[in-house]
Chains A and B, each alone.
Chain A
Amino acid sequence: SYVLTQPPSVSVAPGKTARITCGGNNIGSKSVHWYQQKPGQAPVLVIYYDSDRPSGIPERFSGSNSGNTATLTISRVEAGDEADYYCQVWDSSSDRGVFGGGTKLTVL
């Protein structure tokens, strides 16, 4: 089955740029989606189809996907961005969803 690999944690100072990676075999051929989950809350979609933002998500959130790595970039990081972030793809060969292990973003 398809495997997505994320770093367990990323730390960034307020106002700086955070980059969270999601690795997978030839992931650039798939569409990657990103979710933000704050403690005690349900996940929220922040990026879909590699780089599209749902309405209501700040422009500070962006995504890219190429080769074996997809990246979620959060510019001008704020304290309120502190959360767990998960990448997700759909494995069309098995018709099943796949999540990465999640990355805890800490704002210093």
Chain B
Amino acid sequence: QVQLVQSGAEVKKPGASVKVSCKASGYTFTSYGISWVRQAPGQGLEWMGWISAYNGNTNYAQKLQGRVTMTTDTSTSTAYMELRSLRSDDTAVYYCARQLWFGEFFWFDPWGQGTLVTVSS
């Protein structure tokens, strides 16, 4: 079955970087994109950006431009999200999700199990 398995929880200090992985299985990795979504404690879902696993094209949320980089390794069917210059308000659960589409419309299914990133001094 289609599955996305993410790396484990991280604790980082302010100013540091974090890199979260998302290993896909059960489908042809390069046929779909991957979106990253985060959720701060007690808050809603925030879309962070997406990467095409076919050609590596990316698009990021405006508020994260310059701090986030999304990449893929097609040899291992793994997507990565790196966030730099971490602040306390980056504390959140980070999800990856396979991006499905019809025409110009995109949605997300399935999702990874989530990775808790805690930023604390």
Known: A42-B112, A48-B100. Contact between A97 and B62, CB under 8 A?
no
Of A42, A84, A101, which one neighbours B113 at CB under 8 angstroms? A42
Provide the residues of chain B in CB contact with A99, threshold 8 Å.
Answer: 37, 44-47
Residues from chain A with Cβ under 8 Å of B46 in the complex: 99
* Per-residue contact bits, chain A 18-60, to B (CB 8 Å; 1 contact, 0 not): 0000000000001101010100001111001100001000000
Chain A, 58-108, CB within 8 A of any chain B CB: 84, 86, 88-90, 92, 94-102
Chain B, interface residues (CB within 8 Å), range: 20 to 34
Give A90 to B108 CA distance when docked, in angstroms. Answer: 11
Asked if A42 and B59 make an inter-chain contact with CB atoms under 8 angstroms apart, the answer reads no
In the assembled complex, the Cα of A48 lies from the Cα of B106 at a distance in Å of: 9
Closest-CB distance, A61 to chain B (whole angstroms): 14
Q: Out of A30, A43, A54, name the residue touching B105 (CB < 8 Å).
A: A30
With CB as the reference atom, state the residue of chain B lying closest to A86. Answer: B45
Partner of B47, one of A33, A54, A96: A96
- B45 CB contacts on chain A under 8 angstroms: 35, 37, 43, 86, 88, 99, 102
Q: Which residue of B lies closest to A90 (CB)?
A: B106
Complex: how many Å from CA A100 to CA B80? 25
Contact, CB under 8 Å: A96 / B61: yes
Considering the complex, which residues of chain B in the window 39-61 have a beta carbon less than 8 Å from any beta carbon of chain A? 44-47, 49-50, 59, 61
Not counting A86-B45, A90-B107, A94-B59, a sample of 12 additional A-B residue pairs whose C-beta atoms are within 8 angstroms of each other reads A31-B105, A31-B107, A33-B107, A42-B110, A43-B45, A45-B107, A49-B102, A54-B109, A86-B44, A90-B105, A97-B50, A98-B47
Q: List 6 A-B contacts (CB under 8 A).
A: A33-B108, A37-B45, A42-B110, A43-B97, A45-B107, A49-B105
The residues of B with any CB-CB pair to A shorter than 8 Å are 35, 37, 44-47, 49-50, 59, 61-62, 95, 97, 100, 102, 104-114
